[in-house]
Amino acid sequence: MPAVADSYQTNGEVLQDFLNARLKGHSACLILMAEGVALGVPGTADGINIGQPFEPAADLLSKYLAEGGRVAICKSCMLHNGLSAEQMDARFEIITAPDVVDMLMGAVGSLQVA
């Protein structure tokens, strides 16, 4: 289940959905796009907490990764936002636009968040 995250306001919800997908045994890859690529910088999720009933984003992200969830970063979006591969979390894959298309077209299901 690929997804596109580009809003800090929804990241708590998105991370909860993706954690739930992994807990149910589904494959999941969260694709960070647009301004959402900032979450690829280590520590960025630490300050995000949208409140109950959601846990802080950093906790959700840690649990998601521990359950085998994947995170991918749109390279074009990363560069457009003035970020570099060296700044990104080494656990996250940097992908290109053709990779995004392949992932979305090959997915059994997808969730897109704007």
Mean pLDDT by 10 residues, the chain (114 residues): 48 84 92 90 88 89 96 96 97 95 84 65
Neighbours of 112 (CB within 10 A): 13
Q: Give pLDDT, residue 8.
A: 47
**What local confidence, expressed as pLDDT, does residue 88 receive?**
98
User: What pLDDT, on a 0 to 100 scale, did the predictor assign at position 93?
Assistant: 97
At residue 6, the pLDDT reads 44
Q: What type of residue is 96?
A: T
pLDDT tens figures, 58-77: 999 999 999 999 999 999 99
Domains in the chain (CATH in brackets) are: 2-46+56-107 (3.40.1260.10)
Sheet holding 2-5, edge to edge: 93-95, 70-74, 29-32, 2-5, 111-112
pLDDT at 10: 54
pLDDT for position 106: 87
Candidates 16, 18, 15, 9; CA nearest to 110 is 18
What residues have CB less than 8 Å from 84, skipping those under 6 apart? Answer: 78
Alpha helices by DSSP H, listed for the chain, are: 8-23, 57-66, 75-80, 97-106
The C-alpha atoms of residue 74 and residue 25 are separated, in whole angstroms, by: 25
